[in-house]
Structure formats: C-alpha cells, structure tokens
Structure 1
Amino acid sequence: MVTPESVPTVDPRLALAMGTPLRGDSMARRTGRSLRKLTASAAREVAEESRVARELQQPVTTGRVIAVTSIRGGAGKTTAAALLARTFNHYRHDPVLALEADAVLGTLPVRLGAQSVRWSCAELAHLLTPSMQLTDITGYLVPLTDGGWLLPASQGGVGAPLDVRTYRTVSLALRRYFAVTVVDCETLPGEVARTAMDTAHARVVVAPMTAEGVNGTRVVLDWLARLPDSALATTVVALTANSPDPVLDLKAAAAHLRETGVTVVSLPYDRHLAGGGPIRTALLGDATRRAATLLAAEAMERAVRAR
C-alpha cells in the first residue's frame, strides 16, 4: 500500500486567524474559587479525589472500549471524547487510544491537538496482522503531546463513510494493545454508532441540555435497555451546557434521564471549550476538570465490570 501524505488538521491559512484561547473560568470566578478553598474541607476534597483516581487506575486484563455518541451534532460528543481520552492519559500508566469513528469531517484530531494526520481506520484495517507488536501499531498512529495515541477516521476531507466491517476489524484488533480505547462515534442512529454502542464495554451518551436533546436522549436510553447484556447498566450520560445560561432546569433534566437507572454527569459551560480548537487542560475551568474526571471514572468503573 502506498504511504498516504501527511495532511494538516487545520488549514494553515485558518490557523493564522486563531486567536489566544480563553480560560474556562473568568477572573472573577477564579478569584471566588480561591476564596472558597480557604474555607472548604480539604480532607473531604482529598478523599473524593483519591476515590476517583482509584476508579480511573483500575487494572484491566483485556482492553476496555468506551464508546461516546449523541443523537445530534453539536451536542459536545467529540469534546466529551477528547476530555475522556485526556483524563485517562493523565491517570493511567498503560497505553490509551482515542479512536475516531466519525469519518464525516470529524474534529477529534483538532480537539486533541494533533497537527497533522496520515493513516486512517480504513487504511490500517488492511495492514493489521496478529503478529504485530505495540511498537509496530504506533507507527501508524498519531502520538499526542499529553500522552496516548490517536487513530483518525479520515484525513479531514469528505470521503466515504466508515463502514461497520472496518470498524469491527480495527476496534477488535487494537484493543489487544491498549488498556483503554475511547471511541468517538458518529451520531445515532448511524450504523457504526449502533455497532460501537452494542459492542463496547461502556457507553457515554452526550445529551445537550435542551428539551429536545434530553427527550431524544431518553429515547436512546430506552433503546439501550432493550439491548442484550444489560447495556443500560454500563451507560453514563454526559449532560452538556452549550450556553452559560441554559433555559432548561439542570436538576429536572438530570432527574428525567436518571429515571432509566443511568448515572448522569453534568459538564458545565466552559469558555475554553466553547471557543473550539485544541483543548488545553490547563485552561479548563475548575468545575469542567472535576466533571470530566468524574465522567471518566464512572465510565471506567462500568467498563471494568462489563464482561
């Protein structure tokens, strides 16, 4: 097979127009948080951080796959997948893979800070052999600056969509090499997304905090309840706010989704995430970092206990 050319993830002309990324929290919020920390219970915070860290660092005997999807574009699906991959890379010492399974102008490489991409899922599917070692595999992947690896679904153009056979070939083969694989799926009801959700060890469904978003996500949860092997028991919902002042009440929305028995983690509005482009962990709001860590811990706990 001819080696594909390396392609930049962002057009260089556009890259020049990208301004300085904002911090997730405003100066006033950062100041208020510093004052609150002086009176907060340090012991309680340390205990909670230790509990979450233990969940994230659980040993695995075989690679765990966590699929991330949503019912519509713009819900924050890829952002959630990138946050999960970054969190696992931070806490774990074994290999972590971010696998993009959304070939229609997917943005996972951009969110993870990849400067360029070369090999894609479809190309790697033809090259995989059982005799390959991890060092052979990583030669076809994108190394990430914060740790871990990325396999994009395409080179950023509009091409043929990823098919189920290719996804199965790649995902089943690569889980031998990576302790955790975070899959950024296409939106439901796409065929690859349904396959990924059906075969993953744990699932994260991203729901925008709008009436139609929560209602549609509830329909997805009811569908998952009908899948074999108690799929709903290994599902977490990430409830995302794309505005600093959402109209829908957070408690009511979360309660509606929790009626199905799933855990709901709220990802708050974050100025840094809302700006698009590469996610820089140091610029995330404090609440966003804590929510992303909790989401990863909840997903990992379910992935580990899955068969």
Structure 2
Amino acid sequence: MDEKLASAGRGPRHGEPFSTRALRAVRRAVSSSAAREVAEITATAEVLQQPVTTGRQIAVTSIRGGSGKTTVAALLGTTYAHYRQDPTLVVEADPALGSLPLRLGAERLRWTTGDLADVVQPQMSLLDVTGYLVQLPDNAWLLPGSQGQVGAMLDTKAYERVMVSMRRYFGVTVVDCETMPAEVARTALSAAQARVLTVPATLEGIASTRAVLQWMHGLPRDITSTTVVVLTETVPHTGVDVDKAAEQLKATGASVRTLPYDRHLAAGGVIRTDLLARDTSQAATRLAAEVFQLSQKSR
C-alpha cells in the first residue's frame, strides 16, 4: 500500500474492548475453565501438527464480495504457519486487485501466480521456488495474484501448473480464490482436498449459499462433505439468528462454523493475531483444524 494512503489508517485496535478482556481474566482466575481450555488447545494443536504425505491444498471462496473470504484465507494461512513445522503457502488466485498481501503484511510484491506458471520446473528445489515468493513470519510464504494493478488475468492452465508443482514443497497451501462461479474458482474447488465457503451472516447471504450448496450436490464429484461453510459476522449486530442460520445450512450436508465480529479484523488492515479477540482466535484455530482433518480424508 502507498505510504501516504497507509497513513490515513489509525493505529490497530484490539478485537475486543479492554473491559471484556479484564472481566474474562477475573472469571478464569476463580473458575476451573482454564484447565479445560488448555486441554482443548492441546488437542487442536495435535490435529494441526499431523504430518502429510503429499501437500494439502485448501480453497477458500465465496459467492459474492464482502463476505470475509480473504480475511478467512489469511487467518487459515497464519494458523497453519504457526502450528506446523513444514512450510505453509498462501496463494492469491484472485488476481483482480486482491487484498491478501495487505492482510498478511507483505511490504513488497514480487512474482505473481501467472508469472510463476511460466518459469516453474519439476527439478526446482524449495530454495529455487521460494526465490519467487514473498516471505512471511513462521515459515510461511505468499504468492500474490497481482502487483496491485487492475485487470491482471489468470487462466486455469496456469493455475493448475503452479498448484501441481507447489504440492511438493509445502505441507499446506491455502488458496484465496475468486468469487464463484469464476472459472479458476471452480478449478480450485475441484482440485483442492478441502474447501471453505465464506458467507456473510445476512438473510440474503444465507439463502444464496444454501442454493449453491444444493448445486454442489449435483456436481460429478460431490464436494459438500469436504466443505466448511463459515458464517462471517462483519458488523456488530447482524440482525440474524446465527445459530438458526447454521442449522439451515447444515441440512445440506456441509459443516458450518461462525467467525464472530472482531474490531481488529473489521478495520481491514494487516492482521495481527495478538490483537484478535479471544473468541475470534479460537474460532479461527478450530476452523483450521476441522478443514485440515477434512483435507486428510481426500487424496
């Protein structure tokens, strides 16, 4: 982002008010919930750290913009990078001025997905490949979809060439796809071992998503069983009963999780995991674990 434009942003806020954090700390001190919380964190970490025989690829998409798709992809990528020992790759397959590099804090953009497709070779080493990528914290790497320019295109053959090659080097790859039904998004969904479909927690978003899930049942290979729907609360009060909405979507056979409203995420800047609200952090970690487990069931 241009430095002058970046200066318009205020300092990053914590995902929840200080009073909420202080009250929770007091409650934990006088209850037995701390031990249960540690046990759950340990169990989730064990799932996230499971070894893989071939790289797992997870596609994140939506049916319209503004659903938190890129935010969820960034959260998944940072979570896998934090817990796993092998390298994690985050790919931006949404080349039309996507915001993934900004959310991940990339200071400079180098080669794009389309550029790498022209040079990647089977004999390349991990060191060769990472020379074309943007390094992130915790042994994570970013492959941008564009260099901040409108109109960059990515065809399915180029996408497939890159993704087939990358499975050799990275234990988990998270792909931030175009919105459906774009051609690359359909290719990514079909090729991935697990999928995440982000949905704004609105009546319109829920109704449209249920129709998409029913359409998935009719595909040659039903991918609903390896799809997790994420209801994203992008405003503090959505006016929707999220629990009832989740039940409606679960009836299609897909798993459903909720990403609660978070002041830090809502600002749209670089995601700092230390500033996420506790509920948001836990929701992201549980989502990452569930999606990874689903990816392990697919070849």
Is the TM value for this pair above 0.5? Answer: yes
Q: Which residue of 2 aligns with 1:95?
A: 87
What letter corresponds to residue 205 of structure 2 in structure 1? G
What letter corresponds to residue 164 of structure 2 in structure 1? L
* 1:92-128 deviation line (CA, Å, top 9, x unaligned): 0001000000011100000000011010011111101
1:42 to 34, 49, 72: 34
Q: Is the 8 A contact 1:119 1:140 kept in 2?
A: yes
Q: Give the whole-Å Cα distance in 1 for the aligned partners of 2:263 and 2:117.
A: 38
Q: Which residue of 2 aligns with 1:85?
A: 77
Deviation for aligned residue 1:229: 4.1
1:133 to 115, 125, 140: 125
Q: Which residue of 2 aligns with 1:208?
A: 200
1:290 to 274, 277, 282: 282
Q: List alignment gaps of at least 5 residues for structure 2.
A: none
Q: Which residue of 1 aligns with 2:58?
A: 66
Deviation for aligned residue 1:146: 4.1
SS in 2 for 1:67: strand
Q: Is the 8 A contact 1:113 1:278 kept in 2?
A: yes
1:18 to 9, 25, 37: 9
SS in 2 for 1:153: coil
RMSD: 1.1
Q: Give the whole-Å Cα distance in 1 for the aligned partners of 2:32 and 2:234.
A: 29
Q: Which residue of 1 aligns with 2:18?
A: 27
What letter corresponds to residue 120 of structure 1 in structure 2? T
Q: Give the whole-Å Cα distance in 2 for the aligned partners of 1:172 and 1:223.
A: 27
Task: Summarize the Cα distance change of 1:281–1:271 in structure 2 as closer, same or farther, 3 Å threshold.
Answer: same
TM-score normalised by L of structure 1: 0.95
Q: Is the 8 A contact 1:198 1:227 kept in 2?
A: no
SS in 2 for 1:220: helix
* 1:236-292 deviation line (CA, Å, top 9, x unaligned): 111100111110101111101111122211100000000011000100000000000
Percent of residue pairs identical: 55
Deviation for aligned residue 1:161: 2.1
The number of residue pairs the alignment matches comes to 298
Q: Does 1:163 align with 2:155?
A: yes
1:197 to 182, 189, 196: 189
Q: Is the 8 A contact 1:56 1:88 kept in 2?
A: yes
Deviation for aligned residue 1:30: 0.7
TM-score normalised by L of structure 2: 0.97
